[in-house]
């Protein structure tokens, strides 16, 4: 990223933070949280203590971070090195990202950028300019990507409420500011769990490590096999819905499964993992020392904001989280993909000098497909 790009982004981010202080707050128990931030083209600064909104706003104005983070954990001494912080507890947080969902249409709105010569082109195996195969992939998420992540969010909420007994009032959903959602579980009995216990929760939610015995299939005594009834709760219920389809088909399908044998049923369970489980990032939930993007702040990968989502079905990130202003900005764009922001379409562009609203200019610069003139 060149100096002109960084100057535009810093000016845009600083204005956003000045205009939208009302969106950005320290969380509960701020004196027990670890804060961190990054600047454009710079590394991470961590182990920072902020106690009030005023201190947070001052940091935003003085440092103009590209990204600002806060721990889900509470510590006795948040500004000390990790092994001296004295961990107390941490909210349960889940991350669902479009890049992990295998959306079929994803390649249609992806392109390559050569790490050797910086050429940008439609998706292909090598750079059309220098023939290098050292390529990075750039994806501009579409509605299909967001719809897929929303489906996963709704599945996760259902499991958290029905299987874990978590009140819906304790669950908050945030758009991450780029391609997915962060789901927070606040004020629950799960806050004091360590990494090992959280890993077990992850396995349950992702339908990982399942074996036929879980569902009544005996490996060495098939005569005692008793598969789930239709509509049971938990894993058994979700499996019964997936394999039977309806209550009337249970007997016939059960007989087929039993006659096919243990190994075939184990294979079927593996194939159903993504359908029954939720596609969360397991590493995020297990890490009890992680720092997360602060709600209300901007994401340097897109220029979009991390904001709370009250109605997942009606939420449109490319409108609702696109909060930068519409001042005209001139950029040189090399973007072989069309994208939409604030219900306005942009691209494709082929090394073109164009004038676009600031929110679109920042989005393209953050994605690496444009430069400020």
Residues annotated as catalytic (active site), given as ranges: 95, 97, 281
Q: Do 53 and 25 form a contact (C-beta atoms < 8 A)?
A: yes
The CA distance from 130 to 144, in Å, is 33
3-class secondary-structure state, position 369: coil
Q: What share of the chain is helix, strand, coil (3-state, %, to 5)?
A: 40, 25, 40
Q: Are 96 and 278 in contact (CB under 8 A)?
A: yes
CA 342 vs CA 106, 122, 331, 362: distances in Å: 21, 24, 19, 14
Tokens of 175: 């758009």
Contact between 195 and 287 under an 8 Å Cβ cutoff? The reply is yes
Q: Cβ(269)–Cβ(236) under 8 Å?
A: no
Q: What angle, 0 to 180 degrees and rounded to 10, lies between the N-to-C axes of helices 195-206 and 143-162?
A: 110
- Whether the link from the prior residue into 348 is cis, omega within 30° of 0, is yes
CA separation for the pair 94, 280 (Å, rounded):
6
- Distance, in Å, from the CA atom of 309 to the CA atom of 222, rounded to the nearest integer, reads 48
Rounded Cα distance, 153 and 310, in Å: 12
| Residues forming beta bridges with residue 95, ordered by sequence position | 182
Q: How far is CA 76 from the centre of its chain?
A: 29
Exposure letters 3-32 (e unless 16+ CB within 10 A, then b): eebbebbbebbbebbeebbebbebbeebeb
Contact between 324 and 20 (Cβ < 8 Å): no
């Amino acid at each position: 990223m060149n100096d002109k790009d960084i100057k535009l982004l810093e000016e845009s981010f600083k204005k956003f933070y000045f205009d939208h202080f009302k969106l950005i707050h320290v969380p509960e128990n701020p004196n027990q949280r670890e804060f961190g931030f990054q600047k454009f083209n710079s590394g991470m600064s961590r182990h920072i203590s902020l106690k009030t909104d005023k201190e947070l706003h001052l940091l935003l104005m003085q440092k103009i971070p590209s990204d600002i983070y806060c721990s889900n954990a509470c510590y006795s001494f948040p500004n000390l090195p990790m092994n001296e912080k004295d961990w107390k507890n941490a909210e349960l947080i889940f991350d669902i990202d479009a890049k992990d969902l295998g959306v079929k249409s994803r390649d249609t709105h992806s392109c390559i950028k050569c790490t050797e010569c910086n050429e940008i082109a439609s998706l292909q195996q090598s750079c059309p300019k220098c023939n290098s195969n050292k390529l990075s992939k750039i994806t501009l998420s579409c509605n299909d990507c967001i719809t897929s992540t929303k489906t996963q969010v709704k599945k996760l909420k259902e499991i958290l409420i029905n299987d874990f007994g978590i009140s819906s009032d304790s669950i908050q959903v945030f758009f991450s500011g780029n391609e997915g959602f962060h789901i927070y579980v606040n004020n629950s009995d799960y806050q004091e769990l360590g990494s090992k216990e959280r890993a077990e929760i992850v396995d349950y939610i992702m339908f990982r490590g399942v074996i036929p015995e879980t569902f009544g299939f005996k490996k060495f005594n098939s005569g005692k096999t008793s598969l789930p009834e239709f509509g049971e709760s938990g894993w058994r219920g979700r499996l019964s819905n997936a394999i039977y389809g309806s209550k009337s088909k249970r007997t016939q399908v059960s007989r087929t499964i039993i006659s096919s044998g243990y190994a075939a049923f184990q294979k079927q369970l593996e194939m159903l993992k993504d359908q029954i489980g939720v596609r969360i990032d397991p590493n995020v939930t297990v890490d009890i020392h992680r720092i997360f993007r602060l709600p209300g702040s901007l994401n340097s990968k897109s220029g979009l904001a991390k904001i709370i989502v009250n109605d997942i079905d009606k939420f449109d990130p490319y409108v609702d989280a696109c909060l930068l202003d519409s001042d005209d900005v001139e950029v040189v764009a090399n973007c072989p993909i069309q994208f939409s922001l604030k219900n306005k379409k942009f691209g494709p562009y082929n090394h073109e000098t164009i004038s676009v609203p600031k929110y679109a200019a920042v989005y393209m610069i953050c994605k690496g497909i444009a430069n400020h003139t």
